[in-house]
Amino acid sequence: MTDHAQYLIQQEPFYQPLHQEVELYQAAWDERLPVMIKGPTGCGKSRFVEYMAWKLGRPLITVACNEDMTASDLVGRYLLDADGTRWLDGPLTTAARIGAICYLDEIVEARQDTTVVIHPLTDHRRTLPLDKKGEQVAAHADFQLVISYNPGYQSLMKDLKQSTKQRFAALHFDYADPDHEADIIARETGTPRDQAVRLVKIAATARNLKGHGLDEGISTRLLVYAARLINRDIAPRLACRMALVDPITDDAEIRDTLYHAIDAVFGADGA
């Protein structure tokens, strides 16, 4: 039971619902359907999963996926110690045993031979075979698998197989509409709302450049950074350059366009 408690989220995370995602997730949870959350970086996917785990009172185990990850990193492995070898459950196995929500972040980063280990857990079997240990773990009734991915980045080489995709119900996320996004920034950072509104305006310019020189617009996460720098008495113009523009582009022309957008919103005197 200690395992269980250790993964519980103690405090309500701030999450601003934008559409019907809370109800939709709740219904998927009630049916223990695996859920896929798609959307650009920094738009609230992880925050939403934390919020839902808190709301449902379920432990949350998050795994950041990467291309070097192996199936053993998810399911577990034998470790050698002074007393010989000992099995150590991986995060997926722990989640299946204790009935946690297991959140595999950026799942497409993982190789397909890693990804397939989730297959038996995400269909009627709800089991996880630990081949090396010779054990079949039957998932706890409250186990649920959630994956996230950013549809923008995929090359053909890096996509989920249909047989993986078609094991999930999907929620599509995007940056909040301007009003809600300003609310989110004000609430997250304590910055005055009119300041938050200005930041959101700058983001709008960058988001229009997506596909025209920018791979991705300015995320809500970066708007939160800018507000936090401004709260530290950094001039808004400098804070915006540092948090909103310089991280996302190396292209001098795009940078100038965005610097101009900042000047237009805050005034070239750096107000």
Ligand X SMILES: Nc1ncnc2c1ncn2[C@@H]1O[C@H](COP(=O)(O)OP(=O)(O)OP(=O)(O)O)[C@@H](O)[C@H]1O
> Where does this chain bind Mg ion (CB under 5 A)?
46
CB of 148 vs Mg ion, minimal distance in Å = 6
CB of 141 vs ligand X, minimal distance in Å = 27
14: contact with ligand X by CB under 6 A: yes
Which SS3 state, helix, strand or coil, does residue 244 take? helix
46: contact with ligand X by CB under 6 A: yes
CB of 116 vs ligand X, minimal distance in Å = 23
Backbone φ, ψ for residue 167 (5° rounding)? -110, 0
Comparison of 59 and 76: residue with beta carbon closer to Mg ion? 59
Closest residue to ligand X in the complex (CB)? 44
Q: Which of 93, 220, 249, 257 binds ligand X (CB under 6 A)?
A: 220
Comparison of 147 and 200: residue with beta carbon closer to Mg ion? 147
Residues 122-151 close enough to bind ligand X by CB under 6 A: 150
Beta bridge partners of 137: 128
What is the sign, positive or negative, of the torsion defined by CA atoms of 227, 232, 236, 239? negative
d(CA 243, CA 262): 12
217: contact with ligand X by CB under 6 A: no
Q: Report DSSP state, residue 166.
A: T
167: contact with ligand X by CB under 6 A: no
d(CA 195, CA 17): 22
Do 148 and 103 meet the contact criterion of CB atoms below 8 Å apart?
A: yes
H or E segment to which residue 41 belongs: none
Binding site for ligand X (CB under 6 A): 14-16, 18, 39, 41-47, 105, 150, 176, 184, 188, 220-221, 224
